[in-house]
Amino acid sequence: MKPIINIEGLTKDYGNHKGIFDLTFCVEEGEVFGYLGPNGAGKTTTIRHLLGFLTPDKGSSQILGMDTRTRSADIMKYLGYLPGEIAFFDQMTGIEFLKFMGEMRGLNDTKLRDRLIDLFQLDTKSRIRKMSKGMKQKLGLICAFMHDPKVLILDEPTSGLDPLMQKIFAALILEEKSRGKTILMSSHSFEEIERTCDRVGIIKRGELAATENIHDIKQKRRKTYVVTFDNAVTAADFAKSHAFDIVDIKENIVRLSIMGNVTEFIKSLDKYTVLDLDTERSSLEDIFMHYYGDSETDN
């Protein structure tokens, strides 16, 4: 595998520890790389450098071996991009905007564009100013994918999409990956990243905290389970009898936190009457807390 996106020592210091600092990572050919971090961590600043919109204080970045600052026009021929905040011509209809973007790219074959319109169930006859956030997001995604680019950079791609469209998007990403596309996808949602990505880079306060195989980081992710027992006495007995990390007990409901393998926990429930078992999704802050310790979480 060869690196398609390569970032070396990239730094943009806005002062007061805002910006990005000495970022170094690569995205290999055919890889889906998740770029994960809280809002304000530096994800969009990184992407703006990759698009050639910003000049770094130091360091460099390349896409397909081309410097992103000096050869951005050449890179755009091979790149599909979805910004975090999309600017449209609101008076245009959806199809007028797609035709306009296609003409700018010299797009002659519209088969892929039309397939994507059907896939995302986009009403292209509506004027953009009347579209919901989700509809505009679909329009942006179609623009990013319709010219069949080799490389895709997607900033918060499922923002505004309903759960069904999120699943359709995830399937599209996996299809593009199978065709050898290289994709960098930024998000503040761990669930979005884990559906599709091979590796994940975690950025915090402008610094790269880790790059991990997605399978490894999922193993280190702590989940909270909510167990509803038949009565409060049973719940108290369970909490006392097992060495799990109990978060709290409220009458007959026990919340506990487990990292990794849950086999022992499931077995431990066998002798009790359990009325309900549910899980709570970890927030990104929880993942940071359990992955790096309290000192690594945002204030």
Residue the block writes with tokens 């020592």: 9
Q: What per-residue confidence (pLDDT) applies to 291?
A: 56
- Cα 295 to chain centroid distance, Å, stands at 24
- What percent of the chain is modeled with pLDDT above 90? 73
Residue the block writes with tokens 């992710």: 221
pLDDT tens-digit profile of 247-263? 999 999 999 988 778 89
pLDDT tens-digit profile of 27-45? 999 999 999 888 888 999 9
| Range 222-281 has CATH code 1.10.3470 | no
| Range 3-218 has CATH code 3.40.50.720 | no
Whether the pLDDT of residue 295 is over 50: the answer is: no
Whether the pLDDT of residue 296 is over 50: the answer is: no
Domain ranges of the chain: 3-218, 222-281
Structure tokens at 116: 């994507």
Cα angle for residues 284, 143, 124 (degrees, 5° grid): 110
Q: What is the pTM of this model?
A: 0.81
Structure tokens at 37: 């971090």
285 band by pLDDT with thresholds 50, 70 and 90: low
287 band by pLDDT with thresholds 50, 70 and 90: low
